[in-house]
Structure 1
Amino acid sequence: MTIPLCLLFDSDGTLVDSEILLAEVMAEVLPSFGLPFSAHQYMEEFRGVRFLTIVLELEKRFGGLDDGRRQRLEQEMRALMERRMRAELTPVGGMAEALDALAAHPKAVVSNGPEAKIRCAMESVGFAHHFGERLFSAYSLEVWKPDPGLFLQAAAAMGHPPARCVVIDDAAVGVAAGLAAGMQVIHLNHFPDTEATPEGAIAIYHTRELPAAVARLEASATA
């Protein structure tokens, strides 16, 4: 019997509706350290990008921080983000139903965020039982999307070859990483008017489309 395709989910913006919270937290904390920033700027320019990469880019524009201030900045941002996630985080619409429909598939979360943030997100929205300890953080593995190595290490740990893995991601960096890893990629495109789905990826526009998209890939893989 063929083992179902392995599903590798991004967290922020894919499983959980955290991106506006993150944008607001960054817009609150970054300016207090002399780095002007807006929530709109995160959504337009930096969605899905590693936090340190954002900080270093802002430092180029507005002046550098020493290591101590940079560390305090991240600590304040992470603490505020956790408080807001615990109080306010919700799943992406329809994702709870999609995960139930995909229960037979092995699955993991693969995120550019720290493991503590991933775990907090899954616990806050009631998704922890779907993923257990199968949480793969760029901070733990020391490789960040769009580098394909994050997905490749996750697939190896899950015991599945890249060709039998499906990346589900809403951000350009994750879609690029999945394609570079030689995996099937489903792009959950929340902004079809402004964001194109790259060639080689499958575009869906709502999570209710996800089970059918995975079923089509499953059928193609076993044909």
Structure 2
Amino acid sequence: MSTDKSPSSPFCLLFDCDGTLVDSEILLAEVMGALLPEFGLPFSAQQYMDEFRGVRFQTIVQTLENRFQVLEEDTFSQLEAGMRTRMEARMRAELIAISGMPAALEQLSSHPKAVVSNGPERKIRCALESTQLGHHFAGNLFSAYTLNVWKPDPELYLKAAAAMGFAPQRCIVIDDAAVGVEAGLAADMHVIHLNHFPNEESTPEGALGIHHASELPAAISRLSTAAIA
């Protein structure tokens, strides 16, 4: 697919999923806070929110194993399966879109869009179905588990951009987590950091920080105007 997009054409918008499109982070934190101690790995929901938002599940478990104890052989697959089952049930029953995001997506209807997530494709689809946001993305879903590369590696966003037919410089990453912002910047893309915790987190240099999804259309318009100028 050609990546020869003119400066006046719409940017391609690459959205993270958890914490950016859907308010799933606290659900995941609670699931992990309940499940991991059952397997002998001390963990709390607050610890996920403070230290591990957006991080690959396997990386979280490996970090905890290094701190506490190594799981018995073949235990990880059982642990992950339990986490996925509990999480999907919580999402289908409780998940909502990030405040202001449905309206923002409607305002951005002229832009091609994709979801680029560290989560499995089944989880992405569950999130979009549960919040009725799927129609905005026309099936353009890119999972780290499918592409076998995880943020903060920029290759996940680069592969998504190539599949969408856009050069990195014509893409805008929208991500709430540090690993995603880092990946977008390393991919040489424009990055909007949806910073839910401005009193605790700072937006890295090179990214544009916003605090609410309602600010997203104006932020994208600002980047578009700057690119044309």
The answer to whether the superposition gives a TM-score over 0.5 is yes
Q: Select which of 72, 96, 120 maps to 2:126.
A: 120
Tell whether 2:177 aligns with 1:171: yes
SS at match of 2:74: helix
Aligned-residue offset at 1:66: 3.0
Give the aligned partner of residue 72 of structure 1.
78
The AA in structure 1 aligned to 2:49 is M
> Where do 1:24-173 residues align within 5 Å?
24-173=30-179
Q: Select which of 190, 206, 213 maps to 1:207.
A: 213
The AA in structure 1 aligned to 2:200 is T
SS at match of 1:136: strand
Aligned-residue offset at 1:3: 2.2
Q: 1:3-22 deviations in whole A, cap 9, x for unaligned? A: 20000000010000000000
The AA in structure 2 aligned to 1:180 is A
Q: Select which of 194, 204, 222 maps to 1:198.
A: 204
Q: 1:162-209 deviations in whole A, cap 9, x for unaligned? A: 000000000000000000000000000011111010000000011110
Q: Which runs of 5+ in 2 are unaligned?
A: 1-5
The AA in structure 2 aligned to 1:183 is M
- Give the total of aligned pairs: 223
Q: Distance between the aligned counterparts of 1:211 and 1:101, measured in 2?
A: 7
Q: CA RMSD in A?
A: 0.9
Q: Distance between the aligned counterparts of 1:99 and 1:200, measured in 2?
A: 24
Q: Distance between the aligned counterparts of 2:195 and 2:51, measured in 1?
A: 16
Q: Distance between the aligned counterparts of 2:93 and 2:73, measured in 1?
A: 31
The AA in structure 1 aligned to 2:78 is R
SS at match of 1:199: coil
Q: 1:75-96 deviations in whole A, cap 9, x for unaligned? A: 0000000000000000000000
Aligned-residue offset at 1:132: 2.6
Q: Distance between the aligned counterparts of 1:53 and 1:66, measured in 2?
A: 16
Aligned-residue offset at 1:62: 1.5
TM-score, normalization by structure 2: 0.96
The AA in structure 2 aligned to 1:211 is P
Percent identity, please. Answer: 67
Aligned-residue offset at 1:131: 1.1
Which aligned segments of 4 or more residues in structure 1 are displaced greater than 4 angstroms? none
